[in-house]
Structure 1
Amino acid sequence: MLAAYAARISPDDPLSALEIGERPDPQVPDGWTRVRLRAAALNHHDVWSLRGVGLSADRLPMILGCDGAGVTDDGREVILHSVIASPGWSGDETLDPRRSLLSELYDGTCAEQVVLPSSNLVPKPEGMSWATAGSLSTAWLTAYRMLFSNAGVSPGDTVLVQGAGGGVATALVQLGSAAGLRMWVTSRDAERGQRAVALGADRAFASGERLPERVSAVMESVGAATWSHSVNSLNPGGTIVICGATSGDAPARAELTKIFFKQLRVVGSTMGTIGELRRLVDLVDRQGISPVIDAELALAEARDGFARVAAGESFGKIVLTMGA
């Protein structure tokens, strides 16, 4: 089968570690299901894997990809939940210290076929496009958990999204605005900020710009570069939900005094449960939300998509398509 995979590790030149070519069809263990993929979206996780973050050389070659949707051997159209719990784990799978994502211990979704535990499948709603279904498993699930499980906000509240344009950021804007939240974004690029406004954000600000009023929650994925701004932007009792730190995890100021004096909450958030994925799929379907697609490429053209993600050029999701 055709697949896009990490053939080696290259911290400084991740695209040089990417190969697109034939890999053996997967074997199907007991309790697992084969899915013939129709769509899979790329994430920054895939580029980090090529750099060797979370993927060691002894697991190579490794097929990349966490997002995906396709058809089982018995004809069911499904969306994949890519968080794989360890054997015997029960409860919230994101809290399992031995959990993994597809493409870390098990081959991922940038291929014509993938196998995963049968319990990790969510029915695809009839009429939902493959591009939408194939975009929900990672960045959109991360955004859903941040907003609806961890932020503690209600319709009418104002939420600040640090950064605009990435998969998580665009998902936050689309989901938040659909749920009646007032979504603000920051961006170093004014054009990307305005595109977020066109997508549903109420206002866009330059990175670090003083806001006209404080907000109820901040969605933080940038890290060191925006940390002080995030803390300073919150109302007393507000919440920072952090899902990543693309600019580094060591800010110049930890802002501990402001955090305890203003009684702020700092909540870590990673991916989501299969229950949250079901609720996300239902919300997207009922509200008719269409994830922003930056580009839709055939699997054989995956290198172009990886290059856009690695360069930070994409706005929304890059989707690879397979099959009929």
Structure 2
Amino acid sequence: MFAITAARFDADDPVSALEAGERPGPEPREGWTTVRVRAASLNHHDLWSLRGVGIKEEQLPMILGCDAAGVDEDGNEVIVHGLVGDPTAGGAAPGVRPSLLSEVYDGTFAEKVLVPRQNLVPKPPELSFEEASCLPTAWLTAYSMLFGKADLNPGSPVLVQGAGGGVSAALVTLASHVGHRVYVTSRSEAKRERALSLGAHAVLASGERLPERVDAVFDSVGQATWKHSLRAVKPGGAIITCGATSGDAPSAELTRVFFLQLRVIGSTMGTKPELEALTRMLAATGLRPGIDRVLPLDRAGEGFRAMAEGDLFGKVVLTP
């Protein structure tokens, strides 16, 4: 089968470590099922894999990709929850180590992917395969941060650091839909305008002072925005972090954290029940993931390059 793999590691030019070509198809495994992939979406996790984060050289070549929507062996349209061994999905079988697809087990950038049966969520007919493929990482992460971690009251002011990425776009869409006053920062004027179109209350240049302090900051950028996040939040407020695309070693500013009694909360993806709830929400409300571009699988390198350069707004979707 045709697949996109990490053939080696390259910290400076991760896209050069991609390889496209034929790979052996998945072999049957008890308790697992094969999904014929109809669409898969790209995440920063895939770039980090090409840099050698999360997998080891002896595992190469590894088929990349955490997210997919497709058709299972029984003909059901499904969404793949990419966290293998999630205890909320029924736990892992003996000998199965909890991990994301493409870390221990081959991922979704292929014509077929092998996953535990318990990792499948029904795809509602209201969502296209392309839209559904955007949910399991970026949109699920945003849903879990907003509804599972932030502990917000209706109408709360919030800040989303950075515009354009899949998580940020999902946060703006979901938070504005439920009535929060959403501020968004970005270095790009074009991306700030796009954030307004998603429902943002106001947009600002990166690092610019907000007109008010917020109850929660959602930060996937890390080092470049951390100081601003600490100064944007109210005393007792929360900073929910799910990534560090600009680096993970900012000054912690612990004095500010404990004097203002701030809550710093880490968040990674979400549970299968949260993915099911997110899917139902989108089907009922008409909200849809923003898709920057859809590319055939053999042009995956273009999507990887756009993500590496920050030249996108929303998700990159690959179709076998």
Q: Same fold (TM over 0.5)?
A: yes
Opposite residue 282 of structure 1, the aligned amino acid is R
Q: Secondary structure at the match of 1:73?
A: coil
Kindly provide the CA deviation profile for residues 25-48 of structure 1, in whole angstroms up to 9, marking residues without a partner as x: 101200001100100000111111
**Is the counterpart of residue 24 in structure 1 residue 24 in structure 2?**
yes
**Match for residue 9 of structure 1?**
9
Deviations 1:204-262 (A, max 9, x none): 011111111100100011112111111111111110001111121221x3221221111
Partners of 2:117 and 2:165 in 1: how far apart? Answer: 30
Q: Does structure 2 retain, via aligned residues, the 8 Å contact 1:92–1:273?
A: no
The two structures have a TM-score, normalised by structure 1, of 0.94
Q: What's the % identity of the aligned pairs?
A: 59
**Shift of residue 90, structure 1, vs aligned partner:** 8.1
> Quick check: 1:161–1:172 contact (8 Å CA) kept in 2?
yes
CA distance in 2, matches of 1:220, 1:13: 25
Does the CA contact (< 8 Å) of 1:161 and 1:186 recur in 2?
yes
Distance 1:67 1:52 in 2: 19
Question: Counterpart in 2 of 1:82?
Answer: 82
Residue 92 of structure 1 and its aligned partner are, at CA, apart by 8.6
The number of residues matched between the two structures is: 317
2:262 is the alignment partner of 1:264? yes
Find 1:279's aligned residue among 263, 277, 280: 277
Deviation beyond 2 Å, 4+ runs, structure 1: 88-93
1:44-59 aligned at under 5 Å gives the runs 44-59=44-59
Alignment of 1:315 onto 2:313: yes
Q: Relative to 1, partners in 2 of residues 1:71 and 1:155: Cα closer, same or farther, differing over 3 Å?
A: same
**Aligned equivalent of 1:302:** 300
Q: Deviations over 1:59-84 (max 9, x none)?
A: 01111001100001110100000001
Q: Offset at 1:114?
A: 0.2
CA distance change for structure 1 residues 111 and 163 in 2, over 3 Å: closer, same or farther? same
Secondary structure class of the residue paired with 2:209: coil
Q: Quote the Cα distance in structure 1 between the aligned partners of 2:102 and 2:210.
A: 40
Three-state SS of the structure 1 residue aligned to 2:284 is helix
Matched position secondary structure for 1:8? coil
In 1, distance between residues paired with 2:211 and 2:282? 31
Q: Which residue of 1 aligns with 2:108?
A: 109
SS across alignment from 1:35:
strand
In the TM superposition, what whole-angstrom CA distance separates every residue of 1:91-148 from its partner, at most 9, and x where no partner exists?
899xxxx521000100101011001110000000023111110110111111111111
- In the other structure, the counterpart of 1:195 is 194
Unaligned runs of 5+ residues in structure 1 are none
| 1:1-324 equivalent positions in 2, closer than 5 A | 1-85=1-85, 98-251=97-250, 253-322=251-320
* Cα deviation, residue 3, structure 1: 0.7
Q: Work out the CA distance in 2 between the residues paired with 1:108 and 1:92.
A: 20
**TM-score normalised per structure 2:** 0.95
CA distance in 2, matches of 1:17, 1:256: 39
The amino acid of 1:297's aligned partner reads L
